[in-house]
Amino acid sequence: MWEAMQDLLYSGGVVRLAPGQLIMWAIAFALIYLAIRKRYEPLLLLPIGFGILAVNLPVTALMEPGQGLIWYFYHYGIASGIIPPLIFLGLGAMTDFGPVIANPKTLLLGAGAQVGLYLTFFAALFAGFDLSEAAAIAIIGGADGPTTIYVGSMLAPHLLGATAVVAYTYMALVPIIQPPIMRLLTTRDERRIVMRNLRPVGTLERILFPLVTAVVVMLVVPAAAPLISMFMLGNLFKESGVVERLTKASENEIMNTTTIFLGIAVGATMTHETFLQPRVLFIFFIGLFAFAVSTATGILLAKLMNLFLKEKINPLIGAAGVSAVPMSARVVHRVGSEANKRTYLLMFAMGPNVAGVIGTVVAAAVFLSILK
Amino acid sequence: MPTLTSPIAGKVMAIQVAVGDKVEVDDELVILEAIKMETPIYAEDAGIVAAIKVKEGDAVKVGDALMVID
């Protein structure tokens, strides 16, 4: 009887727990806490946190190639390059390009925030990574998860786990990293600025925008096609007004389903062996620096623009140039509403936010066409 | 009679008040969901809720009437 109990104990995971796994548990519980208690992006943080926890329990083999449940999610969803464009399809169906069409100068802010991406590229080169690795790491500086995963799987598959982990750590940390920088660089009066008077945008403009953007971007940088085509198709569904069922499927069922599998699979890449490594932590620090710089340059560019603009923009929206769609736009909205509940910056921030994504996708495609 | 219009496009997730309720400026009236974020819409005027123009699940565009405050 005693021996049977001993066998049961030794066939279980308890005795095989590594100290690193306990550290990963702490990270998982921290994310789950932030999701539930602080309501920090629960739709992503909850499955990611649970994925981290599940994969850091010994003997479960959830990420065992050809065997584990979550490995199949990862293999067929992410490594295949299918889920990132599907996320873009949903984002397209949810994205209102109206504020961009009505106020194209907010597009500049998206460019301002790409500075971080180039700094990351050179920082990674200096740190001894080769060109392809440096490009895969640099895309993290754009803070766009699906694009990072897409580029990582093409240019540096051996770093994909690390870059995906770091990119999604950023997605998770956007609400924590950005606000202090935003508050530091703006005055309360600037944060209180209410933006109004966006001109109404007509149906024809809304339908032409995704078509023109798709044609121009794919002609100039064909490697951007998988992400941009799905992004613009989703938006065309939405703006056409005639395929409501497809629009709803894209923004609800497809988006929600893929989010679950993306979240848990990305969380499950964070085993203690892959995550608690000097190389990963180093990538994390390079990107963290770039991310902070991107946030700062976006805000500073907005303040610079305000020197010339008659109708002031709320400089917080510059921070949304860090693509992290739509997380950084939400953070801008939240920080703005702390200063003044009725700023409603979400849609204004989507201008630079969307420009940031397009900028990051274009930069990614340039890397792909040069280096692949 | 001031009309509260939607400052963003989204889906009505919850309506936090009923016709006849007294509201103050900055009270939370409606919760919209846009880009997977719950966005509370706050009162711009104090008064009594005279009419509610939307119901849960409705999709609203910028400028659509949400409720009338008397």
Per residue in A223-275, pLDDT (tens digit) is 999 999 999 999 999 999 999 999 999 999 999 999 899 889 888 888 888 77
CA dihedral over A257, A260, A266, A268, signed as positive or negative: negative
Contact B16, B28 (CB under 8 A): yes
Q: Is the pLDDT of residue B51 over 90?
A: yes
Reported as half-sphere exposure (CB side, CA atoms, 13 A), residue A366 has a value of 12
| Most A-contacting residue of B36, B38, B39, B64 (CB-CB within 10 A), to test interface | B36
In whole angstroms, give the CA distance from residue B34 to residue A326. 10
pTM over the 0.80 mark: no
Stretch 9-68 of chain B: residues touching chain A, C-beta under 8 Å: 9, 26, 34-37, 39, 41-42, 44, 62-63
CA distance A231 to A105: 21
SS3 content of chain B, % helix, strand, coil (to 5): 0, 55, 45
Identify the CA nearest to A182 among candidates A38, A36, A345: A345
pLDDT digits (tens, 9 = 90+) for A117-134: 887 898 889 988 889 989
- Residues of A with CB below 8 A from B62's CB? 98, 198, 347
Q: What is the C-alpha separation between A51 and A43, in angstroms, rounded?
A: 13
**Confidence grade of residue A1 (pLDDT, cut at 50, 70, 90):** confident
Query: For tokens 């989204």, what's the residue?
Result: B10
Query: What is the 8-class DSSP label of residue A139?
Result: G
* Helix H or strand E segment including A217: helix A203-220
Work out the minimum CA distance from A260 to partner chain B, whole angstroms.
Answer: 14
Q: How many CB atoms lie within 10 A of CB B61?
A: 12
| Residue A116 at interface with chain B, using a CB cutoff of 8 Å | no
| Interface contact A342, partner B, CB < 8 A | yes
A160 to chain B, closest Cα gap in Å:
27
Check if the beta carbon of residue A267 is closer than 8 Å to that of residue A52. yes
Tokens representing A181 are: 């920088």
